[in-house]
Structure formats: C-alpha cells, structure tokens
C-alpha cells in the first residue's frame, strides 16, 4: 500500500480514529492532577504548618516525616477536630515534606474552605508532635525498665563480691577489690542512665511545632492547566495513533470490495456502473430514486447502467420454444438483451432497488418494461412500484391449467412500467423458478425489456434455475458488504453454469457524485440533452472498464466463455 492508499483507508475508517482519540483525550484528562477539582468546579486552599525535630534525636527527619501521614496521627486529628470524616479521608488532604538541612517538616493541608485547611494543618502538626512524644515516652519507659533490671543485677553481683549484706565494704583480696571497683563503676553508669531515662519518660521532647499555620492561600496549581494539558494532549496523541493503527489493521483484514477495481477483481467481471449510497429515508420508504429525484447523482448512475446494458451485444437471443431454454449456439448481435436477470451473491445488496430503478430508466427512453418478481423468499418489488401483492407468479406456476401472463400484469406508479408480483402461494419456493420458462416466453411478447428479480445466488438456487431462460445476468454488489470470498463463489457459480453475465453494478458507493454534471445540465440546458449526457457517462465508464481490464492482473481474471471480450464493451462505430 502506498501513502495514498493509507490516507484513503484512514479516511474510510475515520470514526475509529475519532473514537480512539476521544478516549485517549478523556483518559489523559482524568488521570491528570487536579482533574477532580476541575470536574467539581471547586478551588482548593492550602495551609502549611512546620514542626522542628531536635538535633539530638536519633531518628532521621525522613523517618519522622512518614509519621505525619500515619494512621495513628490521623486518628488523633479526627478526635482533636471532632470531625465526621474518616481518618483515611483526612490523610488524602495532607502532604508532608522534609527539609533535611534544617531538620524541619512542612505539613501542608488542602481544603475548599480556607479555615478548614488551617485547622487541619495545625491539627496534623499537633497530632504528629503528640504521637512522636508518646512513642518516645513509651520507648523511654521500656528502656527504664530494662535499666532497672540491669541495675538490680549489678547490685547483686557487687554484694556477692564484697560478701557484706548490710553496707558495701572493700574486700581484702586484690582481685575482688578490682572486681568490686568495676561493678561499682558500672552501677554508677547505669544509675545515671536510669535517671536520664526517667526524665525522658516523664518529660518527652525532641519534636516541637516551629510555626503553626496562620492563614490559607488559594492553590492556583489545582487550576493550572500545565500538567493537565500535557497529559491530555499526550492522551489525545496516543489515542489517535492507536486509532490509526487499529483502522489500518481493520482495513488490512477487511476483504470486502468497496470500489470499482476491487469489485472487478473479486467478481472477475467489468463494473458497469457505481451507484451512490442512498439515504436511509429513501431505503426505508422504498423510493424509486430515478422517478422521485430524476436529477440526483443516483439517478444519473442508474442511467449510466441502463446505457451500458443497451450498448452491450445480445449474444443469447434465440429462444427454443420446445424446451423453453435459450439456444446458446444462436447469436444475434443486432439487438440488446431483452430479458435481464438481476442477481446478487448475498441478501441486502440493493438488488430489488436496482431492478425498479433500471425499469424507470428504460421507461424514460420509451421502452415498455415488465418486472417479474421471482424473489419468492423475500418479495418486495411491489412495495417500490406501488401495487398490492395479490395473485402473481407463484399462483400461476402452481396452476394446473394453461395460464395467460397478460391477465396478471399490473400497472405500477411509474409510467410504462408494469409488474407481475411474486403472488401469495410462497410455500416451498425452491420448486418455482425452474417452471418459469413458459412465463418468461410470454413476457417477451408483452414488453420491450423484462427485468427479473430473484433470490441471492449463494443463499438459494433460484437464480441458477432462472439463468437458462434469460438473455443476460446483471450482478448487483453492495460496496463494503459482500466479502471477496463470497464474490469469488458467485463468480465461480456463474462460470460453472455458463451464465451470460454482463457485469457488475456496484451499489452503495461512498463519495461517488455527478454533481458537476447536474449543475451543468440544470436549468436552461433542457431535458433533450440528458440522454446524451447519460450516454457520455456510460461511454466513459465503459472506457474506464476497458482500460482497467487491460492493465489489471490478467492472470487472476477468468472470463466466461459467453462474456464478450473487454474491447467489446464499447459499441461499434457505425456511419
């Protein structure tokens, strides 16, 4: 794929890119700092209190900083402020930063209320000091008890050395004298530590409030867009990049033909016309675009398709009335095809809409058109043509007597277009199409053009049963709906049955427009030039098809024996 192909793929899959970009934008915004405050629309006030740790305290100031956000401190603060907030919620509003050179700890509290911020900062400072002193007092008390035990043990040893239980005396033995001196010195040291520890336990110090919070300041950082914008932009960019990657991956694995070249390769047939995508309201209301909006781009595209069919040689025009099938050895190149079977590979590809719009296009040029609704599994041609279902082909095919098709032809809402509906006896529809020979022969006598609607080729055998009775087969494919595999199977079916396939009508093409032609032919140009413009479009389309097949990968193309060569698509010049 080239750069142009990549850009086309991204343009086709733009919703994927947009959704991924928006998701990235949202995620980046939500994870940015201050996003919660911005979403709530509330500002934030901050207040800072500072506590100072004594230099003689053995613990590092960093360890004491961790004490600020400990749960015991939060519980003290909760009791101190008599608040209904849980201690864990209070911890979310407080941060502590150590200043190692000065042994200070800055405690910052934030709240939407400035007074609450000040009270919270001071409460955490006081709670930290109280918790610090309580822990140090507990540690001093434990150390005091340990020293007391050591002092008692040394005292007992000293008594044993001197051998005197009442008062301490000096022994006569030099060894005992030295031992007694050492024990006395150790006793004095332990006793001094005991006195110091008792003082620490009774009057704990080491951490004091240096400067309480006096006032709160508005935290502009909560509304600053610097970090939020950065993360939001990064999220947007990552979302777009991932969206592009996903779009290209979907494009790579999507094998559905969506343009002229892809459809031609998939079906191994020339694309006769590209029909723009119809509006949803038009599809829902069964509108015949060629009749309701004759100046629209879709109507011009259907006229292009009509011209392509009219200029195509009829290679199967002899009808054997004995077995009611076409004698394919007889060739008459002077007449266009009269009976046209409109088929599709799958359902919902615009087959019936193509039938009725082609009928309106043929009627525009003075042809008498008869539509045979042979889609017995899902008939709806009557809804487009404004007639009720009533008695139709299924009733005639199940009749045990000789039937006259002309008695059941009904006029539609479109002038010069008649229709025979599918009828009402639609049970076991697979048995009906093979009996259509006699009715098709009668239809040839009733109209200049006979258009036959049928069930999808890959879902039922109905279209295959009808192929022996028609002059040509027009395949309808909806862009980006049928897969390449389904198109290949349909092409193989046409080749296997030696069906006289004329080409493909690609329906639902996005971006296809005849807007310039419409604006040129609008107003003073007059309707007498419409047919010539349509012929020009048709000629251009056929020439484009001719050039495409000549430069395509011919090794991949399988031409049906009954299909004219590519250079036969253009009509022969006549003097």
191-249: per-residue pLDDT in tens? 888 888 887 777 777 888 888 988 888 765 544 444 567 777 888 888 888 888 888 88
Tell me the average pLDDT of the chain: 79
- CATH number reported for the structural domain that contains residue 63 in this entry: 3.30.1890
* Among 81, 160, 158, CA closest to 118: 81
DSSP 510: S
Rounded to the nearest 10 degrees, what angle do helices 114-162 and 71-81 cross at?
Answer: 120
Q: What is the reported pTM?
A: 0.54
Q: Tell me which residue range forms the domain holding 320.
A: 260-512+531-558
What pLDDT does 452 receive?
Answer: 96
Do 547 and 418 fall within a single domain? yes
Do 117 and 266 fall within a single domain? no
Answer yes or no: is 37 within a domain: no
What pLDDT does 344 receive?
Answer: 94
Do 297 and 201 fall within a single domain? no
Answer yes or no: is 227 within a domain: no
Answer yes or no: is 245 within a domain: no
Do 386 and 490 fall within a single domain? yes
Do 271 and 336 fall within a single domain? yes
Answer yes or no: is 192 within a domain: yes
Give the domain-ending residue among 192, 218, 244.
Answer: 218
pLDDT digits (tens, 9 = 90+) for 493-515: 999 988 889 999 999 887 654 44
For residue 287, name the pLDDT band (cuts at 50, 70, 90): confident
Q: Residue 169 pLDDT > 60, yes or no?
A: no
Query: How far apart are the C-alpha atoms of 71 and 58, rounded to whole Å?
Result: 23
What pLDDT does 566 receive?
Answer: 39
Q: Collect all residues with Cβ–Cβ distance below 8 Å to 267 and sequence separation of at least 6.
A: 257, 475, 477, 487, 490, 491, 504
What pLDDT does 220 receive?
Answer: 55
Do 58 and 169 fall within a single domain? yes
- CATH number reported for the structural domain that contains residue 405 in this entry: 3.40.50.300
Q: Mean pLDDT check: name the lowest of 27-36, 51-60, 236-245.
A: 27-36
Answer yes or no: is 402 within a domain: yes
- Residue with the larger pLDDT of the pair 225 and 182: 182
What pLDDT does 546 receive?
Answer: 43
Do 64 and 178 fall within a single domain? yes
Question: How many residues would you count in the chain?
Answer: 575
Do 268 and 412 fall within a single domain? yes
Do 356 and 213 fall within a single domain? no
Do 206 and 268 fall within a single domain? no
Give the domain-ending residue among 190, 218, 246.
Answer: 218
Give φ, ψ of 188 to 5 degrees: -65, -40
Query: How far apart are the C-alpha atoms of 470 and 549, rounded to whole Å?
Result: 26
Residue 433 burial class via C-beta count within 10 angstroms: exposed 0-12, middle 13-18, buried 19 and up: buried
Do 269 and 214 fall within a single domain? no
What pLDDT does 489 receive?
Answer: 92
Answer yes or no: is 521 within a domain: no
Beta strands 207-211 and 271-276: pairing type? unpaired
Give the max Cα distance, the chain: 155
DSSP 535: H
Do 161 and 278 fall within a single domain? no
Q: Mean pLDDT check: name the lowest of 21-30, 282-291, 328-337.
A: 328-337
Query: DSSP labels for 260-272?
Result: HHHHHHHHTS-EE
Give the domain-ending residue among 159, 186, 218.
Answer: 218
Answer yes or no: is 16 within a domain: no
Answer yes or no: is 27 within a domain: no
pLDDT digits (tens, 9 = 90+) for 458-496: 999 999 999 999 999 999 999 888 888 999 999 999 999
Beta strands 271-276 and 501-509: pairing type? parallel
Number of domains in the chain: 2
């Amino acid at each position: 794929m080239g750069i142009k192909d990549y850009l086309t793929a991204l343009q086709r899959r733009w919703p994927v890119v947009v959704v991924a970009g928006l998701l990235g934008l949202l995620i980046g915004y939500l994870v940015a700092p201050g996003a919660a405050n911005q979403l709530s629309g509330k500002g934030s006030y901050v207040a800072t209190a500072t506590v100072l740790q004594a230099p003689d305290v053995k613990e590092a100031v960093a360890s004491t900083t961790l004490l600020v956000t400990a749960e015991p401190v939060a519980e003290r603060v909760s009791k101190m402020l008599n608040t209904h907030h849980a201690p864990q919620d209070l911890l979310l509003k407080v941060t502590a930063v150590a200043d190692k050179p000065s042994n200070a700890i800055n405690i910052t509290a934030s709240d939407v209320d400035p007074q609450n911020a000040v009270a919270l900062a001071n409460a955490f400072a006081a709670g930290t000091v109280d918790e610090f002193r309580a822990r140090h007092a507990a540690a001093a008390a434990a150390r005091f008890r340990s020293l007391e035990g050591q002092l008692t043990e040394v005292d007992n040893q000293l008594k044993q050395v001197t051998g005197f239980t009442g008062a301490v005396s000096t022994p006569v033995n030099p060894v005992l004298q030295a031992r007694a001196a050492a024990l006395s010195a150790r006793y004095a040291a332990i006793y001094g530590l005991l006195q110091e520890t008792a003082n620490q336990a009774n009057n704990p110090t080491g951490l004091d409030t240096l400067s309480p919070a006096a006032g709160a300041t508005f935290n502009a950082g909560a509304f600053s867009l610097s970090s939020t914008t950065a993360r939001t932009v990064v999220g947007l960019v990552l979302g777009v990049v991932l969206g592009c990657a996903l779009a290209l991956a979907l494009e790579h694995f999507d094998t559905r033909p969506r343009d002229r070249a892809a459809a031609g390769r998939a079906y191994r047939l020339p694309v006769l016309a590209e029909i723009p995508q119809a509006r949803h309201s038009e599809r829902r209301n069964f509108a015949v675009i060629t009749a309701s909006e004759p100046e629209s781009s879709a109507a011009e595209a259907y006229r292009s398709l009509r011209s392509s069919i009219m200029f195509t040689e009829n290679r199967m025009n002899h009808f054997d009335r004995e077995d009611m099938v076409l004698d394919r050895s007889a060739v008459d190149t002077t007449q266009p095809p009269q009976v046209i079977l409109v088929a599709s590979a799958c359902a919902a590809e615009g087959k019936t809409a193509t039938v009725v719009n082609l009928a309106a296009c043929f009627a525009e040029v003075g042809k008498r058109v008869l539509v045979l609704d042979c889609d017995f599994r899902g008939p709806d041609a009557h809804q487009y043509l404004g007639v009720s279902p009533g008695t139709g082909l299924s009733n005639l095919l199940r009749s045990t007597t000789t039937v006259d098709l002309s008695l059941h032809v009904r006029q539609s809402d479109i002038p010069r277009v008649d229709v025979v509906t599918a009828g009402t006896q639609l049970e076991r529809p697979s048995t009906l199409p093979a009996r259509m020979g006699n009715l098709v022969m009668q239809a040839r006598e009733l109209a200049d053009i006979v258009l036959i609607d049928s069930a999808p080729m890959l879902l039922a055998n109905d279209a295959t049963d009808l192929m022996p009775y028609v002059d040509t087969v027009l395949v309808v494919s909806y862009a980006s709906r049928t897969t390449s595999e389904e198109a290949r199977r349909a092409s193989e079916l046409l080749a296997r049955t030696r069906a006289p396939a004329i080409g493909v009508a690609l329906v639902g093409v996005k971006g296809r427009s005849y807007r310039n032609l419409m604006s040129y032919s609008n107003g003073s140009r007059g309707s007498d030039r419409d047919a010539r413009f349509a012929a020009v479009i048709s000629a251009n389309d056929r020439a484009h098809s001719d050039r495409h097949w000549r430069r395509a990968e011919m090794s991949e193309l399988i031409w049906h024996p009954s299909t004219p060569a590519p250079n036969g698509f253009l009509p022969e010049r006549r003097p």
